[in-house]
Amino acid sequence: MTAKILYIEDNPLNMRLVRKLVKSFGYEMIEAMDGILGLEMVKSERPDLLLVDVNLPGMDGLEVATEVKKIPELASIPIIALTANAMHGDRERCLAAGCDAYIAKPISRQELKNMLNRFLTDDAQIATS
Ligand code: MN
């Protein structure tokens, strides 16, 4: 089974970049453009991993992470936060909100690949880079 990743991101350029990378790693990606829809999709689609942009309109990525971790059936889904503003304390805020890991933008292909493989080892279908 190909691992299914849900990416919640409001910026179409980031969405396109990550879609391209994730596909090149051999994973399936589904998408949501805001936090509220994203949270609904976590419940309905049960992704193997969640990538969340921190800065989202309405419900932000950290709120989504906190909500997901409150739901026992979904709490084991790994959550990786992506943030543009690598401010002091950002990583701690992400982890405190329930995220399992954190990636600062701009996204590095190798860092994203390593991170996804780390959390998806069992299902990893790693394409040649
Ligand atoms: Mn954003």
- Over residues 20-27, the mean pLDDT reads 97
Cα 61 to Cα 80: distance, rounded to the nearest angstrom? 10
Whether residue 81 contacts residue 102, with contact meaning beta carbons closer than 8 Å, is answered with yes
Which pLDDT value is given to residue 12? Answer: 97
As a dihedral over the C-alpha atoms of residue 44, residue 50, residue 52, residue 57, rounded to 10 degrees, the angle is 0
Q: Please give the distance, rounded to the nearest whole angstrom, from the Cα atom of residue 97 to the centre of ligand 1.
A: 17
Average pLDDT over residues 10-21: 97
- Cα dihedral 93, 6, 110, 120 sign: positive
* Amino acid letter, residue 95: L
Residue 127: the pLDDT is: 46
Question: Ligand 1 centre and the CA of 1: distance in Å?
Answer: 30
Q: Rounded to the nearest whole angstrom, what is the distance from the C-alpha of residue 9 to the centroid of ligand 1?
A: 6
Ligand 1: centre distance to CA 103 (Å): 14
What is the predicted pLDDT for the residue at 1?
A: 77
pLDDT at 98: 97
pLDDT digit string, tens, across residues 89-110: 888 899 999 999 999 989 999 9
87 has a pLDDT exceeding 60: yes
pLDDT the model gives residue 84:
80
Q: 49: which 2 tokens?
A: 């991993």
**Tell me: the pLDDT tens digits for 39-86?**
999 999 999 999 999 999 989 999 999 999 999 999 999 999 998 866
Is pLDDT of 38 > 50?
Answer: yes
